[in-house]
Each structure stands twice: as structure tokens, then as C-alpha cells.
Amino acid sequence: AFQYYMYDDEGAYAYASWRISVGEMPYRDFLTPQMPVFLYWGGLIVHFLGRSFVALRVTTMLVMLLTAALLYLTNRELLGRPVAFLSLGFFLFEANVFHNARYFRPEAYMLLFQVAALYCFVLGEKRNRLPYIALTGALFGLATLSKLFGMLPWGGCGAYLLYAWWRERRTWRQTLRELLALGLPMVFIV
């Protein structure tokens, strides 16, 4: 199953990763349709593990398993162990997750950074720690640079902070600090 491309996209991504692994720059030396974090990650894989679809695909599978572990931790923090374990099962057996985990495509990497960001956001809100919120913004920046849809949950976290300000009667200064901690690292990275 490793000898076939998924459409022509996977072959183009593998080609771009190979070109990066030999020192070329995306967008300057060759045309590529993807964001740089995904391509640089692919370049590292090719540099260290060789020009192999097996290596590219296996690392994508490992990224999805790491995403599943982070999803479990997030749900455990929010809803407890039984619900977290159930959500882990639903995630791993979802057809789209299985599909995206099998090929070298940017969706798996974007999802990893998004779920890691949501985990940090939950920790920051539960522990009232601003550095977690700042790390959330940075991780959403990496998610966005993996695929542009990576920014969508970032907007949801900002909307949550505004809702929490209204619902919990937080001070506007605290909310402003949280919004800046969420927004500035993301904007800086992107």
C-alpha cells in the first residue's frame, strides 16, 4: 500500500519535502501549494530518514496517535477519564482520522497543533495561568502555518474568553490580558 500516491497531492508534498531536505527554499526555489511548517517538517523527515514514502507516512501515523493522546488528556481534564477514554475510541475509529493518518498530508500536523493548543487553553483556564494561554496562541500559529484552517479554533478560544468575561463578570483588564496572550504569539508566528 505504500507504493501508491493519494491523488497527486502526496507526491507533490513528498517532492517539496525532498527539495527542502537538500537546502532549497519553498516559495522561492519552487512552487508549492502548502504552508511552510508542514513542508519543513517533511524536509526534516526526508533529511533524517531518507526519501521514503514509508517514513513520511509512518511519521504521519505517529503524529495522529500523539494527537489522540492529547485529545484524551484534554477531555480527561474537562470531563473525566470515562468520557476521555470514550472520545479516544471515537477519534481513533473515525473514518476521516483513519484516512488522514495514512497519507503524508498537512491535515494531521495541523490537527496535532490544534489539539495541543486546546489542551494548553484548557489548562490555562482551569489553572488561571497566562503562560498557558500564550502557548495556546503560539501553537495555533504553528497550526495555521501547517494549514490555514488551523486558525479556526483560535477564533473560538477568543470568543470563549469574551463570553467568559460577560458570563463570569471578569474584569476587562484580565480579559484583555488573556486576549493579548492568545493573540500576540499567534500573530507573531504567522
pLDDT 10s digits, 31-87: 666 788 888 999 999 999 988 888 898 999 999 999 999 999 999 999 999 999 999
| 14-18, 118-122, 179-183: range with lowest mean pLDDT | 14-18
The mean pLDDT of the chain is: 88
Is residue 116 over pLDDT 70? yes
Give the integer Cα–Cα distance in Å for 37 and 112.
12
More confident residue, 168 or 31: 168
- Per-position DSSP letters for 74-122, written without gaps between them: HHHHHH-HHHHHHHHHHHHT-HHHHHHHSS--HHHHHHHHHHHHHHHHH
Query: Among the listed ranges 22-36, 71-85, 151-165, which one has the minimum average pLDDT value?
Result: 22-36
